[in-house]
Amino acid sequence: SVSHSQITRLYSRFTSLDKGENGTLSREDFQRIPELAINPLGDRIINAFFPDGEDQVNFRGFMRTLAHFRPIEDNEKSKDQNGPEPLNSRSNKLHFAFRLYDLDKDDKISRDELLQVLRMMVGVNISDEQLGSIADRTIQEADQDGDSAISFAEFVKVLEKVDVEQKMSIRFLH
């Protein structure tokens, strides 16, 4: 699991972001990070820290969300076959990404939900029509059961060749 020094550093980071000094972070605290504020998916990422519709996240919640990004090789050290699947398993990383698309949490990515994410990523630079056909094509290629929406299983299948572990991991230097 996470080392002591990593926890200390992350706690240090948490407190430096916590301008209100009340032990929790609000959405504004995240938006103060310039590199995050200019990220097209910034708002969705920030939302991931507030899963239950609350406005504040404490350090525990902060760590829980960050835990999805631990490199998978960390799990080699603590093989616990009987315990719950660790947050940073390939499957859970994929689930995390799936939830970034699936706003209404119905376990399906609908055409609208896909369009929303696409629109966030391209801004004003692509017309509705073009974007619509991109979305249609993407769904068509991944949709296997013909319901014009992407379930989690279909999502996983599309990404089976992608190195999720590498793309969705953050490595600590010490």
Partner 1 sequence: QWATIRLQKGAKKPQPQMPRTPTANGIIERDETPMEKEIALLHRADFEFSHIFYFCRKGFEAIVEDEVTQRFSSEELLSWNLLTRTNVNFHYISLRLTIVWVIGVIVRYCFLLPLRFTLAAIGITSMIVGTTVVGQLPNSSVKNYLSEVVHLTCSRIIVRALSGTIRYHNKENRPQKGGICVANHTSPIDAIILTNDGCYAMVGQVHGGLMGIIQRATVKACPHVWFERSEIKDRHLVTKRLREHVADKSKLPILIFPEGTCINNTSVMMFKKGSFEIGGTIYPVAIKYDPQFGDAFWNSSKYNIVSYLLRIMTSWAIVCNVWYLPPMVRKDNEDAVQFANRVRSAIARQGGLTELPWDGGLKRAKVKDTFKEEQQKNYSKMLVRNGSVG
For the chain, state the CA radius of gyration.
18
Q: Which is nearest to 149 in space by CA: 120, 114, 100, 105?
A: 114
Long-range contacts of 129-133 (CB under 8 A, 24+ apart): none
Give the residue, chosen from 22, 31, 140, 148, that forms a contact with partner 1 under the rule CB under 8 A: 31
Min. distance of Cβ 169 from partner 1 in angstroms? 8
| 124 near partner 1, rule: CB under 8 A | yes
- Amino acid, res. 134: I
Give the residue, chosen from 3, 22, 130, 140, that forms a contact with partner 1 under the rule CB under 8 A: 130
97, 168 contact by CB (below 8 A): yes
| 133 near partner 1, rule: CB under 8 A | yes
- Amino acid, res. 13: R
Rounded to whole angstroms, the Cα distance separating 124 from 65 reads: 30
| 103 near partner 1, rule: CB under 8 A | no
| 67 near partner 1, rule: CB under 8 A | no
Chain residues binding partner 1 by CB under 8 A are 6, 8-10, 12-13, 16-17, 30-42, 45, 66, 69, 97, 100-101, 117-118, 121-126, 129-130, 133-135, 137-138, 142, 150, 155, 158-159, 162, 164, 167-174
